[in-house]
Every structure is written in structure tokens, then in C-alpha cells.
Amino acid sequence: MTQHASPDAAPRHRTVAFSGLSLRYPARAARSGLLLLLAIAVTTVAGLLIGDYDITVGETLQAAVARGDDPLAIYFVHDVRAPRVLTALVVGAALGMAGSLFQNITGNPLGSPDIIGFTTGAATGALVQIIVVGASTHAVGIGALVGGFLTAAVVLGLACSSGLDGGRLVLVGIGVGAALGALNSLLIVRASLVTAQTAAQWLAGSLNAVLWPRASLVMIAVAVLTVPALLLSRPLGMLALGDDSCAAVGIPVRRIRLGAVLTGVALVSVATAATGPIAFVALAAPQLARRLAAVPTPGLVGSALMGALLVQVSDLVAQRLFAPTELAVGVVTGAVGGLYLVALLAGEWRRNHA
Amino acid sequence: MAEPAAAELRRSVPRLAPGPVLLMLGLTTLVVTAGLSLFLGSNAIGAQETWRLLWHPDGSVASGVIHDQRVPRTVLTGAVGAALGLAGALMQALTRNPLAEPGLLGINAGASLAVVLAVAVAGVSGLWFYLWFAFLGAAVTAVAVYLLAGVGHASATPVRLALAGVAVTAALTALVQAVILTDQVAFNEFRFWVVGSTEGRGWDVLQVVGPFLLAGAALALLLGPALNALALGDDTAQALGVRLARVRTASMLAATLLCGAATAAVGPIAFVGLAVPLAARGMVGPDQRWIGVLSLVLGAAWLMVADVLSRIVIAPQEVQVGVVAALLGAPVFVAIVSRRRVVAL
């Protein structure tokens, strides 16, 4: 029998103590978090550095803070590449956090916002703007935001009539999502070919032409939403013990769950409004982070870091793979995330059969 | 002493409707919808006339409409709906996840990729070619998911199978998007294929997929008792003499045959394979044998109703049956799941 760290085994903890105060943390999760941070730092610099305008690393870092004597470098790095990289990181983190929140609420790896209808609802809002109204990019984002929140209101209204139950929330979400998905297909089938293609472009998710105004809006919104997400993550992890046990130790189960749903929906809607629905990140990031850290439930911070890394790497690939033709980032996240998950599963399989 | 205690226990368990009653109800619905499907359409033919022409074809236009279009279409729709319902029941039992659906095997994504490549690379188009490409794509993908999830080994877990399916689906969907975003012709063909439609499909399609559907259905129904044992947990099932690897392999084979053939016939139809077995389980309880049979009947009825509606809502034009199946099914589904406590797997 070979020993290996199964994700379901209890994680090993380390403790640090300073004069009476002590912090206990899972050792492998902390290591994997540092690893992810390092990877994010490297890919961020790569995102600022790589492009058709050649500059050195030193010049890039100078230009990123709008210093240096090359106005073109400042334009490309500070005005074009920096907002794009930051948006990729922030949107990825938002999707990762939302996925982690939903997977904890539902206790199901398939219970992510892509599957339970919120992303579909945001897409419906945007498609109505693109196909029916024929609106500008700006209005499409607003449509997505409104669509996401309306969907959430409908799902919550239907699922909460007799208390919020994670399982029921998912199923009602899937039902509503199916209806909206059908509506989306109907809109695309009945639109003209050109409009339908614009819609398909938006549906693939893209970071092309993201500039500072949009980037700063997204960053502020996600920063604000991170606060409740962090506060909720610890009691939410305890919900895995069962509602009764949680209520017995004084956790307001219902309020925690409702808060988590609202935060998760807000995160997904903001991310989708900014870039279109970037596929698979919310589902895969928590599962990937969980496997990397060998912890039993997907943690919030790990999922956020993994989501950010996933989107940033995907965007690099999307920009450079067939340069100068840019792919949609959502196309690449599906491929990168899917292949990474395939590799992880295959690795686990090999360890079990070595 | 034991007798009254047992009676007490029986009373305290909420009584679900018994299987045979539900099955009769389901079959009645099926017959009625099949009748409606023959009778309703953009050509107005009276009920009596329909009945007469059904048994005595006279070579008239109306007779042609009924025998060449409505009868094959009704049979095909019923077969596809039944296959999707049964495949969904199988997948939910196999992964022990109520959110599992036949598409989780990667079948829809695999079929989609094959169709898109057929148009973009091979340059072929037309339902007949799509059928073969879709079936091939579905089968190859299902084998990949099977290998990746390690289903043939006793150590495979339900979550692993679900994740393997999701991962493969995501990777393939990404490829599909990459192709349709760059190739306008492929995109145009794909957007109509992907909604799922029974329009203009007849005996020729049924002849190809029929044997696969029958084989899959027979295998799936035979697996009922073994899946019941599997629901008790892997260890208990093994102790009861179930060969885990063999049952899982057979289940995936059956689901692939059913869903692959259905998708090849009419395109990917979402939601039926998920919602029908869930509803069946809610009605009949956890016995997989009844869930299977009931899913088969209800799946057929559901898709037939959707097909009838798809012909008449904006007649003489048609809406795609996949769209109607979801728009019609979703409210019913939501009503079911928000009323009663969902029966966990």
C-alpha cells in the first residue's frame, strides 16, 4: 500500500506562536498558496512584458508605474497591458471565489454558478441587449449585470419559499437556467448571422480592449465583495458538518447561506459584465485548488488565487498562440482548465495504481 | 411484537405512489401525446380523417403527411425522449449525483466537435453526414471519459467520473468555440444543429440509430438490480456480490449507446435527461428498476409534448424541439423541486 495524500484525508497543520498568540494553519495549503502567488507574479510580469512592442523587464516595470522616458512604452505597458492584466486577475479571482462559495453551499462540485443558471441569466441579459436592442459594449455589460441579478432574485424567491436548502437552490437554479439557456439558443437561432456572431463572440468571453475605466470599476467592485466573502468563508466551511451541528454551536446557518449566495451572485455578475462569461473557471478553480492544497473542501483564498492564475495564463495563451490573431480568453480557459483537470485526475489515477 | 412495530414503521414512512400505478399513468400520457402528435400539425387534418388514414393509406396528400412525416417523426421523438430519460437515470445512479445528466459523459461536446469539424475541415453538410459524425464523436469522447475516470477499476469514485466528464466537456467545448468563432459557415450550420430539432427526420434516421437505442435500453433496464446495490455504497455492493468495475462499465456503455444515438439523431437536447429521472425518482422512490422504466416512459411523453408544441406555437413555422422541451419542462421541474424535499442520492 503506497502512502499518498488523498484530498479527503485530514490536512496536517503547523502552528506558529508569538508571545501568547498562536496561528494554526494547514501546512500544504499555505505552501500551495505561496506557489500560486509566485506563479501569478511571474505571469503578471509576463503579461506586461510580452507584446508586439519589445522592451526589457526593467523598462516594463518602470513603465508600469508610468515612469521612464519612453512614451510609447508607457502607453503600451501602463495604458494597454496593465488594465488588461489586472482585469484578468481580478475577474479570475472573482470567479474562483464565487465557485468556492457555491460549491461550499451546495456541497457538490457541480454546484458552480455556470451550472446553476446565474451565468446563463447574465448571458440572457447581454444577449437581449445585443440581439434585440442592438446596444453598445457598455450597455451589454449593464444588461449582463441586470440579467444576473434578476435570475438570482427569481431563483432565490422560488427556492426560499420554505427555508434555504442548498440542494433545492441548485435544482431550482438548474431549472431556471435551463429555461434561460433555451431562450438564449432561441435568440441566437432567430437572429441574423452577423448579429448571432457578435453574440457568440461575447458569449466566449474576452479581455480584448479592456482599458482603465472598466478595469478600475471591476477592481473596486470585486474588492468590496471580497470582504463579505472572506467573512463568510469560515462559517461556510463548517456547514459541511450538517445544519443541526452548526446551529447547535451557534452558527446562524440560514443567514450565512443567504449571505454567501448573494455574495457569490454579485461576484459572478460583476465578472460576467466586465468580460462576458469566461467558461469553466468558477467550476474548475476551486477543485484544482482543493487538489493542490489537499484540503477537504474548496477554500476561498486558494480558489481565488487559482482562478486569477487560470485566467491570466489563458489570456497570455489567447493573445500569443496565434498572434496577431487573438483568441477569446473563454476558449482558452476551457482548454487550459480542462486539460489541467484531466492531468490532475490522470496523475491521481497513476498514484493509485502504481 | 415485531408485527405491530413493522406496521408502525410503514405508516411513518411517507407513502409514495406505487410503481405500477405510475407506469400506467405514464403510458396513458404517452398514448394520448402520440395521438396528438399524429393529429396536430401545420396541415389541418381532422381527427377522424387522421384515424382512417392511419389504417387505410389512400395515397392522398393528407395520407402522405401522416405516413411519411408524422408517424416517423412521432416514433423518433418518442425513442429519443425515452433514450435520454433512461440514460439520465443511469448516469445519476452511476455517479450517485442528482445533478448528473447524459451530457456529463462528454457526449454532447464530442458530437458537437465532430459536427463542427465535419463542416469546417471536411466541408460536408447535411443531416445524414452530421448523424455519423456526431455518433463517432460521441463514442470517442465517451471512451476518453471512461479511461480518464478509471471506471474499469474498482477504485473509481462517482465524483471522479463527474469531474472527468466536466473536464473533457470543457476542453472540447473550447475547441468547438475556437472553430465557430473563426469559421462563419461552420457557425451558421452549428447554431441550428446544436438546439436539437426533429424537423424532417424520418425512418432513415431511425433505421440507423434504432438498433443502438434498443441495445442500450435493454442493457440499461437489466442493470437495475445491480445499480440498486450500488446505491448502498461501494463496499456493501461488493459484499452483495456486485462486480463494481463490470457494472460501471456496462452502465457507461448503455448510457453512451442511448445518449450517443439520440444526439446523433436529433442533435443535443438538454435538460430532458436531467429532469425526467429526477422527477421519476421523486415520484416512485429510490428503486432504480422503477426509476429506469418510468424515466423511459416519461422521457418519451415529455419530448413528444414538446415536439407537438414546437409545431403549433408559431405555425406554420417551427420552433426547435430542444428549446420547447426546456422552456416547457423548466417550470414543471421547478415546481416539483421547490415543493417537496428533494430525495438525495
B160/A197 touch (CB, cutoff 8 Å), yes or no? no
Q: Which amino acid is at B23?
A: L
Please report whether residue B35 resides in a domain: yes
Dist CA B331 CA A179 (whole Å): 8
**What value, to the nearest 5°, has the Cα angle with vertex A97 and ends A94 and A103?**
135
B164/A204 touch (CB, cutoff 8 Å), yes or no? no
User: Of B314, B331, B313, B211, nearest to B264 (Cα)?
Assistant: B211
Q: Which pLDDT score, from 0 to 100, does residue B339 have?
A: 64
Residues B35 and B51 in one domain: no
Domain that holds residue B50: 44-70
Dist CA B243 CA B345 (whole Å): 20
A216 in reach of chain B (CB within 8 A):
no
**How many domains, chain B?**
2
pTM over the 0.95 mark:
no
Contact present, A276 and A121 (Cβ < 8 Å)? no
Residues B95 and B48 in one domain: no
Could you say which of B324, B331, B337 has the minimum Cβ distance to residue A171? B337
What angle do the packed helices B184-193 and A193-204 form, to 10 degrees?
A: 90
User: Of A72, A198, A80, nearest to A129 (Cα)?
Assistant: A198
Residues B54 and B123 in one domain: no
What angle do the packed helices B71-95 and B158-182 form, to 10 degrees?
A: 130
Residues B28 and B49 in one domain: no
A338/B169 touch (CB, cutoff 8 Å), yes or no? yes
User: A339 CA to chain B: closest CA distance, Å?
Assistant: 6
A236 in reach of chain B (CB within 8 A):
no
Scanning the structure block, which residue is given the C-alpha cell 455492493?
B237
Please report whether residue B345 resides in a domain: no
Q: Which residues of A touch B188 (CB under 8 A)?
A: 193
Dist CA B145 CA B165 (whole Å): 6
Which residue does chain B place closest to A322, by CA atoms?
B178
Q: Which residues of B touch A103 (CB under 8 A)?
A: none
DSSP state for residue B269 in the 8-state scheme: -
Please report whether residue B230 resides in a domain: yes
Please report whether residue B315 resides in a domain: no
Please report whether residue B17 resides in a domain: yes
Please report whether residue B110 resides in a domain: yes
User: B60 CA to chain A: closest CA distance, Å?
Assistant: 34
Please report whether residue B319 resides in a domain: no
Dist CA A59 CA A42 (whole Å): 16
Q: Which pLDDT score, from 0 to 100, does residue A6 have?
A: 42
Query: In chain B, what are the helix, strand and coil shares in percent, each to the nearest 5?
Result: 75, 0, 25
Contact present, B85 and B272 (Cβ < 8 Å)? yes
Q: Tens digit of pLDDT for each residue in B198-256?
A: 777 778 888 888 888 999 999 989 988 888 888 888 788 888 888 888 888 888 889 88
Q: Which pLDDT score, from 0 to 100, does residue A305 have?
A: 93
**Alpha-carbon distances, residue B162 vs A325, B157, B183 (angstroms):** 34, 9, 31
Q: Which residues of A touch B274 (CB under 8 A)?
A: 174, 178
Residues B107 and B186 in one domain: yes
Residues B173 and B60 in one domain: no
Residues B17 and B90 in one domain: yes
Q: Which pLDDT score, from 0 to 100, does residue B196 have?
A: 79
Residues B131 and B277 in one domain: yes
User: Of B297, B244, B287, nearest to B22 (Cα)?
Assistant: B297
A296 in reach of chain B (CB within 8 A):
no
Residues B218 and B274 in one domain: yes
B326/A345 touch (CB, cutoff 8 Å), yes or no? no
Q: Which pLDDT score, from 0 to 100, does residue B12 have?
A: 44
B170/A341 touch (CB, cutoff 8 Å), yes or no? yes
B126-144 in b/e form (b: 16+ CB < 10 A) is ebeebbebbbbbbbbbbbb
Q: Which pLDDT score, from 0 to 100, does residue A97 have?
A: 93
A334/B170 touch (CB, cutoff 8 Å), yes or no? yes
Q: Which pLDDT score, from 0 to 100, does residue A7 have?
A: 44
Q: Which residues of A touch B313 (CB under 8 A)?
A: none
Residues B147 and B278 in one domain: yes
B338/A159 touch (CB, cutoff 8 Å), yes or no? yes
A95 in reach of chain B (CB within 8 A):
no
Could you say which of A168, A189, A327 has the minimum Cβ distance to residue B320? A189
Q: Which pLDDT score, from 0 to 100, does residue A4 have?
A: 40
The C-alpha torsion from A292 through A293 and A297 to A300, rounded to 10°, is -100
A201 in reach of chain B (CB within 8 A):
yes
A291, A336, A341: which to substitute to probe chain B, counting the most B Cβ within 10 Å? A341
Q: Which residues of A touch B176 (CB under 8 A)?
A: none
B275 in reach of chain A (CB within 8 A):
yes
Residues of chain A with pLDDT under 50: 1-9
A284/B169 touch (CB, cutoff 8 Å), yes or no? no
Tell me how many residue pairs between chain A and chain B have CB atoms under 8 A apart: 169
We report the CATH number of the domain holding residue B286 as: 1.10.3470.10
Q: Which pLDDT score, from 0 to 100, does residue B114 have?
A: 87
Please report whether residue B322 resides in a domain: no
Residues B53 and B157 in one domain: no
Dist CA B209 CA B205 (whole Å): 6
Residues B117 and B175 in one domain: yes
Residues of chain B with pLDDT under 50: 1-2, 9, 11-14, 342-345
